[in-house]
Amino acid sequence: MTTTGRHRGRIALVTGGSRGIGRAISRRLAAQGALVAVHYGHDHAAAERTVKEIEADGGRAFAVHAELGVVGDAATLWTAFDRELAARDAPPGLDILVNNAGITLPRTIEQVTEDDYDRVFAVNTKAPFFITQQALVRLRDGGRIVNVSSGATRIAYPAIVAYSMTKAALDHLTLSLAQHLGPRGITVNTVAPGFTETEINPTLRDPQIRQALAGASVFNRLGAPADIADVVAFLAGDDARWITGQCIDATGGVHLGL
């Protein structure tokens, strides 16, 4: 990737930034000049690999570990973030927060247990809520918050009902925060991916499933992580200064018609 100056001098945090869509977002923001904190929950090797890829491309990044969905996860993340910034003599604070981390739950309502429900909400909804809450004292005026949701919030998809509910809650967080933080010049937006090809989606190894999901898009292909990363990078930049409280559909036109 060629480094550009769109985000030069800015500090970004991408949750779930070591793999899949998060990895693409981390790399894109770093390629545009940001110092990127690549958060990971479990896969240290993936985080280090993403940091090395960014550095090889001429960017700057560091890994931050915090398991999400457990008590104190937000505090753990921000303590690690502050410590890593200080270790690099970087100025304290934050310019861009991307709430990307999440887990799925491919079960219908009949199959979802209370433990399942609590877990998916803890990671997908509670964690970004409190991560954002604790980010506000660090986030500079004029900063950016981008929440990664899902196209499933506008489509009836019973097979992932609890997951879709977590993302719908995140969509409302975007709306309320945009109103709340507007006086500080902070924009808050959502990006909603559709069927996206990542290494952590095992169902895509089945040719029939791949074909069916690709066919749901008007472009007759699966999304690539870079398709989502480009939208996030735009919303995180100055060109999107007049956009806030919006959900940007980045599904490739999934299920636009009958």
**Active-site annotation holder among 40, 117, 157, 163:** 163
* Alpha carbons 115 and 121: distance in angstroms, whole number: 10
Could you tell me which of 48, 55, 59, 56 has the C-alpha nearest to residue 6? 59
Question: In 3-state terms, the chain is what percent helix, strand and coil (to 5)?
Answer: 45, 15, 35
Measured from the Cβ of residue 204, the count of other Cβ atoms closer than 10 Å reads: 17
List strands edge to edge, sheet with 35-40: 60-65, 35-40, 11-14, 94-99, 139-148, 187-193, 247-250
Does residue 117 have an active-site annotation? no
Strand 11-14, strand 35-40: pairing:
parallel
For residue 221, the number of C-alpha atoms closer than 13 Å in the C-beta half-sphere is 5
Beta-bridge mates of residue 62: 37
Angle at 83 between CA 82 and CA 89, to 5 degrees: 90
Angle at 201 between CA 13 and CA 196, to 5 degrees: 70
Measured from the Cβ of residue 246, the count of other Cβ atoms closer than 10 Å reads: 16
**Active-site positions?**
163
